[in-house]
Structure 1
Amino acid sequence: MKSIKHMLFGLVLATCAAFNASATPTYSDMFFVVPEFGPTTTQTWDFGISAPGALAGETFEFDFLFNTPPEPAWFSFVVFPDLAGSIAFTDLGIFAGDLFTPIDALSLNLASELAKGAGWITSGTYDLRLAGTFLVDGAGFTGRAESDIPEPVSLALLGLGLAGMAGVRRRKAVKEAA
């Protein structure tokens, strides 16, 4: 019963926020997200906000800036409230590093309690913009982005292997012809 009330309250607040989208959000900020490099060929970014002073019904718009690997790579992210029913996302966008040029390289999915996207992007700085409404006091959200890091050495080894296989096949064809 409580979750139904939360959902209805969230829908009402999200609808109000959508109609009041031109208003300046109560909370807004920009963050540069520092990547973490692990032992694998994946680069990760953990990001999010906590707004202990936020009150239910207040709105937010946050920009998270990412620098992606030097080659075209797969990039994906997911963002969700820290507490179910505490935030309603109302807008999601991915922009070039200038913060104004929208890009369509990623397929974006936005639900009231979940924002995610994935796709191939080229090297550069990208802005992930999230907007929404706090449904409970002191709410926050957490996100994680991942990108594959192309390995030039692995690609070179793969190319050498393919060339070697072609050479063996050619030698075998010449031997059979003789």
Structure 2
Amino acid sequence: MPKRDVTSWNSMILGFSTHGEVAAALEYFGCMVRTEKFDAQCHHVCRCLECGVITEAWLVRAADLLARAGLIDEALDVVSNMPMRPDLVIWRSLLDACCKQNAASRWNDVGMVRKLMTDKGVVKEPGCSSIEIDGVAHEFFAGDTSHPQTEEIYSALDVIEERVERVGYSPDSSQAPMG
């Protein structure tokens, strides 16, 4: 790669860790730390490394990599025993990893992480989607019905749902975390 910067390194590390290539992710992380000069815009782990807070950075990354490798119990153990209070980024990382375990039917892990978050007083921000129509931006938050066109939007969604069911579509919600 002709131009290597923090963004390209992070992309490679994320790609490896997302696909369970823990060793490669750690190898690239080490290369990045040895070869790059970091500025104030650098991500949290690298800022910790620059400041000498290697323990915190290592714990955050270790929990993330364990979770992405499917070792949810081990990741939760790391997070539960951290000397600092886990932040929303750490919890989000664990939840994302649990969601990726869907194929392995590990939704109970999602519930376990959610319970631990509640016990620790962490509040999850509702999901948000946005769309621009005719130059006007519209934002939608999970569980929020305050949009001025909520009634029309839900009516349109009902029509779409009816049409897809009519042609034989039936969603498989057996793995969906309901509760």
Bin for the TM-score computed over the shorter chain: under 0.3
Higher strand share: 1
Greater percentage in helix: 2
TM (norm. structure 1) is 0.22
TM value normalised by structure 2: 0.21
Structure with max Cα Rg: 1
Higher relative contact order (CA 8 A, sep 6+): 1
